[in-house]
């Protein structure tokens, strides 16, 4: 392990880092004010993660929330002058970090293929161009409507309504690359694809299990809940492939002693490091312990009243051998028994998880295994207990609730049809996987992205980049310049939008938008700083104008954008749980959407919660890598399993800086974490550079070059590196079963020393 690792997370370095990022924003004063308004009544919702807020609205310091705000609210502008100086080909050579660092997109631009530059276009002309192009398509399913999870409920609702009135359910969504497996698994098991707990439950739990999640970086406000729980005597058990420092010790920047002294709160009482993709086996081991050694702890009353499929499930548990469990999880029976005991001996248990569980081939079964354990013990639907998929983007869950879903339920479409007196498509549309394939094959012809950076977020970069280039029209509604804007074919538009922190002025006055957090709390958000440019438009208005330019007769789109309350009235009429929406958001903390599973109502076909009797997979790798699985174990050419993850200084494809303080890494991102013994076996030294490659069954070889080795406390056979740099390695077909999520946490790779010649070129 490197000696540079910090002993605790949080504390003074967090505050120092925040100040640095605020200063770099060139809008320091506004951003300090912004920080005080984040997640407050009459303030705006943090554009960082989807973690919820306490009901009292007390200020919660969050280093990475501050970075997200400072990054959005900057005075640096990317305008017509900028694009005059830089051709698209030149921009393509820049790093993702450089591209976003240039500042906020400040006016609408259109790509000119003749001179390879973006040039100004009026909003009116841009909308007309989109409308004309869409109306020239021979089939509405030639349109792909991507969404990234920052869009407001209002923008998302209009977007899906527009897409469906146009005639398509093609709604690829960042969620397809993120928590899709959670939605699928929870719907199959408990009848609703959302978490069953609220923030208050963390105050009442006796045990909290954290699977495959790095909250110190990605959900820093969750650390307050974990710290408080730990101080109250709650046992916290972590399953993480890496030893993440925040999950070991955390110092609250709001506690003077922990801020200024080495003092910190111990977070995890038991910390287990399974092999990548080994969690299903680990949880199976916990279940086996329960069933075989503590059968009286099975909650018979709950199982009988509320569940279906116990016998089949127990039969599978019975046939799963400890040998298989130990080999796949990389954990011993003894370790798993300890974890099982904490679970079994606690009367209120919450399980949390994020990308470490969702980005594998067998993620749906893994998450259903977590649910199996909760069902056996009745740990759901009571205070202090339940299931908590910790969502990523701040409104990704709300987008789904609003209908951003390529497979809407018939009931959802019927409600829209009946209330709005319209006809909409029922057939399933495209998720990200299907959309990229359709674009690659030129079956889809227009791509509109409501935020995000599909080019860098999706796997198989070469394939994905070509797919986006194939679009006859590529429309990006964005705040910052990124690679998705530069993959231009015939025609492309950049439509600059307002950020969360900014005032959204429409004809009826200053507008509020609404969002839903990971606990299904819906609340209002209102930006307060002046927009960076008078030429930026709100996302909601942009969507309304696109709809108006395309299908003006179907709806009075422009009236809706003039007053967002009218959009909320439509939501109230068409989506269950939003009755009296405009009134309910006047409550300071917003309102909670009820969760059927938390109320022990099971919206499944059986009307019961379903056990899932799935075998452990033979291999954690996707089927398209069966050749690579065979080479595993050959000392000269070991197939490692690589996970791609976030550093402390990034937000998905947005790179804030080149450091990863909690992992002791600074100044670079092309690093590869490796177990010291694996490196020694291959005669590789720390600091040496390696090329990383993977070969899928189609024989396509994918490679990324010159990654610097860092010794790390990681299970043997596993590696870790950052996303998006690792995305070129992952075959487009390497997706989760039933979730289609890229298997970003289990990429089979081999490594070899980078040639000296190449390294010299790199250093120049
Ligand atoms: N600052 C910041 N905040 C963010 C984001 C960001 O990029 N930056 N992104 C947002 C988004 S969209 C999301 S989805 C979330 C992501 O939040 P996370 O899921 O925390 O994100 P990752 O960095 O992908 O971290 C995965 C964690 O799981 C562990 N892990 C990987 N594979 C396995 C495995 O097989 N088993 C186990 N047990 N552990 C494993 C890794 O070691 C790592 O700690 O964060 C959101 N919040
Ligand atoms: N290998 C690998 N790949 C992954 C992952 C991984 O762990 N490993 N994680 C996956 C996950 S969990 C996710 S969620 C996806 C993320 O996929 P996306 O959501 O598509 O990507 P982001 O990087 O969040 O998008 C950044 C861009 O969003 C735009 N933006 C920022 N704020 C706003 C706003 O308020 N409005 C609008 N309209 N635009 C805005 C900016 O232009 C910025 O460049 O990536 C996935 N890809
Ligand atoms: Mo995500």
DSSP line for 227-284: HHHHHTT-EEEEE-SS--HHHHEEE-TTSHHHHHSS--EE--SEEE-PPTT-HHHHHH
In which band, very low, low, confident or very high, does the pLDDT at 588 lie, cut at 50, 70 and 90?
confident
H or E segment and range at residue 710: strand 701-711
Give the C-alpha separation, 458 to 466, whole Å. 12
H or E segment and range at residue 145: strand 143-147
The verdict on the CB of residue 147 being under 6 Å from ligand 2 is no
Q: Report the separation in Å between the CA atom of 366 and the middle of ligand 3, taken as the mean of its atom positions.
A: 18
Q: In this prediction, what percent of the chain has a pLDDT beyond 90?
A: 83
For residue 731, pLDDT beyond 50: yes
Q: How far apart are the first and last CA of the chain?
A: 30
The number of the ligand 1 atom at minimal distance from the alpha carbon of 214 is 20
Fold of 623-753: Barwin-like endoglucanases (2.40.40)
For residue 530, pLDDT beyond 60: yes
Q: In this prediction, what percent of the chain has a pLDDT beyond 70?
A: 96
Q: What is the pLDDT of residue 45?
A: 80
For residue 186, pLDDT beyond 90: yes
| 3-class secondary structure, 510 | strand
Domain ranges of the chain: 11-72, 94-177+395-589, 180-390, 623-753
What is the longest distance spanned by two Cα atoms in the chain?
A: 75
The residues with which 592 forms a beta bridge, in sequence order, are 521
The verdict on the CB of residue 642 being under 6 Å from ligand 2 is no
Of 107-111, 601-605, 637-641, minimum mean pLDDT range: 637-641
The verdict on the CB of residue 475 being under 6 Å from ligand 2 is no
Give the C-alpha separation, 238 to 264, whole Å. 18
Q: What is the pLDDT of residue 19?
A: 80
pLDDT tens-digit map of 156-179: 999 999 999 999 999 999 999 999
Q: Which residues of 319-351 are buried (b: 16+ CB within 10 A; e: fewer)?
A: ebebebbbebbbbebebbbbbbbbbbebebbbb
Tell the residue nearest (CA) to atom 46 of ligand 2: 457
Q: Assign domain 94-177+395-589 one CATH number from 3.90.1300.10, 3.40.50.2300, 3.30.70.270, 3.40.50.740.
A: 3.40.50.740
Per the rule left: phi > 0, alpha: psi between -120 and 50, beta: everything else, 482 is beta
Ligand 1 pocket residues where CB is under 6 Å: 48-49, 64, 178, 211-214, 217-219, 239-242, 244, 274, 276-277, 279, 354-356, 392-393, 643, 645-646, 650-652, 745
Q: Which residue has the higher pLDDT, 328 or 1?
A: 328
Q: What is the pLDDT of residue 1?
A: 38
For residue 308, pLDDT beyond 60: yes
**Angle separating helix axes 180-190 and 363-377, nearest 10 degrees:** 40
Q: Are 655 and 100 in contact (CB under 8 A)?
A: yes
In which band, very low, low, confident or very high, does the pLDDT at 56 lie, cut at 50, 70 and 90?
low
Q: Are 686 and 709 in contact (CB under 8 A)?
A: yes
> Within a 10 A sphere around the Cβ of 641, how many other Cβ atoms?
26
Q: Are 523 and 46 in contact (CB under 8 A)?
A: no
Of 102-116, 254-268, 352-366, 550-564, minimum mean pLDDT range: 254-268
**CATH code, 180-390:** 3.40.228.10
For β-strands 689-695 and 671-674, DSSP reports them as unpaired
Ligand 1 pocket: which of 356, 391, 657, 714 to mutate (most atoms within 8 A of CB)? 356
The total number of residues shown for the chain amounts to: 764
Mean pLDDT computed over every residue of the chain: 94
Q: What is the pLDDT of residue 2?
A: 45
**Selection from 669, 467, 491, 483 nearest residue 92 by Cα:** 483
Give the C-alpha separation, 256 to 263, whole Å. 10
* Cα dihedral 277, 283, 284, 289 sign: positive
H or E segment and range at residue 143: strand 143-147
CA distances from 731 to 27, 365, 749 (A): 41, 22, 12
Tell the residue nearest (CA) to atom 36 of ligand 2: 451
Q: Report the separation in Å between the CA atom of 179 and the middle of ligand 3, taken as the mean of its atom positions.
A: 7
* Tokens at 574, concatenated: 């068409």
Q: In what order do the strands lie in the sheet with 521-525?
A: 513-516, 521-525, 591-592
Q: What is the pLDDT of residue 550?
A: 98
Q: Are 55 and 84 in contact (CB under 8 A)?
A: no
pLDDT tens-digit map of 235-250: 999 999 999 999 999 8
For residue 635, pLDDT beyond 70: no
């Amino acid at each position: 392990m490197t000696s540079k690792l910090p002993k605790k997370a949080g504390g003074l370095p967090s505050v120092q880092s925040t100040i640095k990022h605020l200063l770099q924003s060139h809008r320091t004063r506004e951003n300090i004010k912004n920080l005080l308004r984040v997640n407050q009544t009459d303030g705006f919702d943090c554009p960082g993660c989807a973690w919820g807020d306490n009901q009292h609205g007390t200020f919660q310091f969050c280093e990475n929330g501050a970075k997200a705000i400072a990054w959005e609210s900057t005075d640096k502008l990317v305008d017509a002058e900028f694009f005059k100086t830089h051709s698209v080909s030149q921009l393509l050579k820049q790093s993702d970090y450089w591209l976003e660092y240039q500042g906020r997109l400040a006016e609408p631009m259109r790509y000119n293929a003749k001179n390879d530059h973006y040039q100004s276009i009026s909003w009116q002309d841009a909308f007309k161009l989109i409308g004309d192009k869409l109306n020239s398509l021979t089939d509405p399913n030639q349109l792909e409507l991507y969404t990234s999870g920052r869009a407001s409920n209002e923008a998302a609702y209009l977007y899906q309504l527009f897409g469906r009135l146009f005639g398509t359910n093609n709604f690829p969504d960042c969620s397809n690359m993120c928590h899709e497996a959670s939605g699928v698994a929870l719907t199959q098991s408990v009848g609703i694809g959302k978490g069953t707990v609220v923030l208050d439950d963390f105050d009442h739990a006796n045990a909290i299990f954290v699977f495959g999640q790095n909250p110190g970086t990605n959900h820093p406000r969750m650390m307050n809940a974990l710290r408080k729980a730990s101080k109250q005597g709650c046992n916290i058990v972590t399953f993480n492939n890496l030893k993440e420092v925040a999950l070991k010790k955390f110092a609250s920047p709001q506690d003077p002693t922990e801020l200024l002294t080495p003092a910190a709160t111990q977070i995890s009482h038991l910390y287990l490091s399974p092999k990548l993709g080994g969690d299903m086996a680990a949880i199976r081991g916990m279940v086996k312990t329960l069933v075989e050694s503590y059968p009286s702890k099975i909650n018979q009353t709950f199982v009988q009243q509320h569940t279906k499929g116990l016998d089949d499930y127990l039969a599978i548990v019975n046939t799963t051998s400890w040998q298989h469990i130990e080999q796949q999880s990389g954990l011993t029976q003894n370790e798993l028994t300890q974890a099982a005991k904490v679970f079994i001996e606690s009367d209120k248990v919450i399980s949390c998880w994020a990308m470490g569980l969702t980005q594998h081939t067998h993620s749906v079964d893994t998450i259903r295994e977590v649910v199996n354990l909760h069902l056996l013990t009745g740990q759901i639907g009571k205070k202090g207990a339940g299931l908590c998929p910790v969502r990523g983007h701040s409104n990704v869950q709300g987008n789904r609730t609003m209908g951003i879903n390529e497979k809407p339920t018939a009931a959802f479409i019927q409600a829209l049809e009946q209330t709005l007196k319209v006809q909409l498509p029922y057939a399933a549309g495209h998720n990200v996987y299907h959309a990229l394939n359709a674009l690659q094959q030129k079956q889809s012809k227009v791509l509109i992205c409501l935020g995000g950076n599909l080019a860098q977020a999706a796997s198989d970069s070469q394939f994905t980049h070509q797919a986006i280039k194939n679009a006859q029209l590529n429309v990006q509604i964005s705040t910052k310049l990124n690679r998705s804007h530069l993959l231009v074919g015939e025609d492309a538009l950049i439509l600059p939008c307002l950020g969360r922190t900014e005032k959204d002025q429409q004809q009826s006055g200053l507008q509020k938008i609404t969002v839903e957090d990971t606990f299904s709390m819906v609340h209002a958000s209102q930006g307060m700083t002046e927009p960076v440019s008078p030429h930026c438009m709100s996302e909601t208005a942009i969507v309304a104008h696109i709809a108006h330019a395309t299908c003006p007769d179907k709806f009075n789109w422009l009236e809706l954008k003039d007053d967002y309350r009218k959009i909320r009235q439509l939501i109230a009429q068409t989506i269950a749980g939003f009755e009296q929406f405009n009134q309910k958001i006047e409550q300071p903390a917003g309102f909670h959407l009820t969760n059927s599973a938390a109320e022990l109502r099971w919206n499944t076909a059986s009307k019961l919660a379903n056990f899932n009797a799935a075998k452990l997979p033979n291999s954690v790798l996707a089927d398209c890598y069966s050749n690579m699985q065979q080479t595993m174990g050959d000392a000269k050419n070991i197939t490692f399993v690589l996970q791609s993850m976030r550093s402390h200084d990034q937000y998905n494809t947005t790179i804030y800086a080149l450091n990863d303080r909690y992992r002791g890494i600074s100044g670079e991102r092309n690093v590869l974490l490796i177990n010291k013994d694996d490196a020694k076996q291959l005669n590789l030294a720390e600091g040496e550079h390696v090329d990383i490659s993977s070969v899928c069954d189609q024989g396509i070889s994918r490679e990324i070059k010159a990654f610097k080795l860092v010794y790390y406390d990681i299970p043997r056979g596993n590696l870790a590196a950052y996303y998006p740099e690792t995305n070129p390695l992952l075959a487009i077909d390497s997706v989760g079963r039933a979730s289609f999520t890229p298997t970003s946490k289990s990429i089979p790779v081999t490594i070899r020393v980078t040639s000296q010649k190449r390294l010299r070129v790199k250093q120049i």
